[in-house]
Amino acid sequence: MIVAERKPLAEILDMVKECKKILVLACRGCVTVCSAGGEREAEILASLLRLGLKKNGRRAEVIEGSLVRQCDKEYIDAIDQWQGRYDAILSTACGVGVNFIANLRPADHVYPALNTTFLGGSAEQGVWREQCAGCGNCILHLTGGLCPVARCAKSLMNGPCGGSVNGRCEINQEVDCVWQMIYDRMGRLGRLEEMRIASPIRDWSASGHGGPRKQTRGDLTL
Amino acid sequence: MNFTPDIRLFSCHYTSQQSCTEAGNELQQLGFPENIRICRVPCTGKLQEITLLKAFEDGADGVYVVGCPADACHNIKGSQRAAKRVAAVKQALVELAVEPERVAMYHLDRGLHPEFINIAREMNERIRRLGPSPF
Ligand code: SF4
Ligand code: SF4
């Protein structure tokens, strides 16, 4: 899922300081699962906004709403139900959701309540870890299922680097060296021989360095 | 300053059970401040952050929660959860540049003990010193 976290309140309050009617818009997709921007978090944020704006001597009406997702046109259209009740939308979706609102609602002011942090999963309750960087050319079949693009600080294709010590990354003793993990795992799986093959220099054009990416499935288009 | 704070207490059923005996005036007799409104909940673990924030929205100058001892909660982890929610609200108050002491968590043995009265007075005194809520 896409993992995100709430921006500092001061930053959010500054964004909406001139707004008189704010719709705090939750997303019931990824950000609900990572407890950053679902209905519960939007309700809390709306309350904090009311308190913060009042403290700063601003008068604004803050209402809450939610969409199934904010990354699909059909759901964005449902914003019509709050027409006239807001002069700005504070979205608690990931950046995709905010972009979708901006793409599809030319007259609406939209602001991000979250920092979208990474593609990851819940490692344990209350802890999320980055697992994939959406590089567009997956190599997990070569690395035993562990991603060096997202999980190696240098995104090395032939690791580990000389900074790997006792299974830890040189950037931080708390961070596992994913290349050590890859070697250990490939060894356990009896695939260590494959590690002798050096990966060629990688073409990163699929990873976004070639501009914004788009994909089309002819069998699905109307 | 002549200021009587509006204080809301969320207390678990077990910790405050004797505060709601039939006659209901035992607390006053023991000197429990009259400006503290008690909201009894089945377990403090059920309290959400939003409940505490709404109390501030509703005009509270201070909000506190009294639940079971952290390692002896009737519902095992209820009061530990409550303490985390209180901590989250404290953090939010810091972000809003409001005194975090306006919200507090206390862990007390079950039943009505002098400590229940003492912390009520302590909270009352603290909020009186801080003055009216900036919200
Ligand atoms: S808008 Fe973002 S958070 Fe919401 S469902 Fe879509 S991708 Fe997930
Ligand atoms: S190799 Fe690329 S697509 Fe595969 S997990 Fe890593 S970042 Fe994601």
Give the tens place of pLDDT for each residue, A138-168. 999 999 999 999 999 999 999 999 999 999 9
Average pLDDT of span A190-216:
93
Nearest-Cα distance to chain B for A24, in Å, is 15
Distance CA B67, CA B43 (A): 8
State both tokens at B58.
């509703």
> pLDDT at residue B23 above 80?
no
- Judged by DSSP in three states, A157 sits in coil
B49 close contact with A: CB closer than 8 A: yes
> Residue A96 contacts by C-beta under 8 Å, 6 or more apart in sequence?
A2, A70, A71, A116
Structural domain harbouring A36: 2-118
Domain ranges within chain B, ordered by starting residue: 10-128
User: Do residues A143 and A42 share a domain?
Assistant: no
Last residue of a domain, one of A54, A85, A118: A118
Residue B1, burial from CB neighbour count under 10 angstroms (0-12, 13-18, 19+): exposed
Q: What is the CATH number of the domain that holds A17?
A: 3.40.50
DSSP helix, strand, coil percent of chain A (3-state; round to 5): 35, 25, 45
Q: Is A140 in the pocket of ligand 2 (CB under 6 A)?
A: yes
A101 & A139 share domain = no
H or E stretch at B35: none
ipTM of model? 0.93
Amino acid identity of residue A212, one-letter, is: P
Q: Are residues A88 and A139 in the same domain?
A: no
User: Contacts of residue B48 in chain A, CB cutoff 8 Å?
Assistant: 40
Count of structural domains, chain A = 2
- Cβ atoms of A62 and A20 within 8 Å: the answer is no
User: A129 in a domain, yes or no?
Assistant: no
Q: Residue A113 pLDDT more than 60?
A: yes
Res. B1 pLDDT band, cuts 50 70 90: low
Cα–Cα dist B42/A10, whole Å: 35
A127 domain residue, yes or no: no
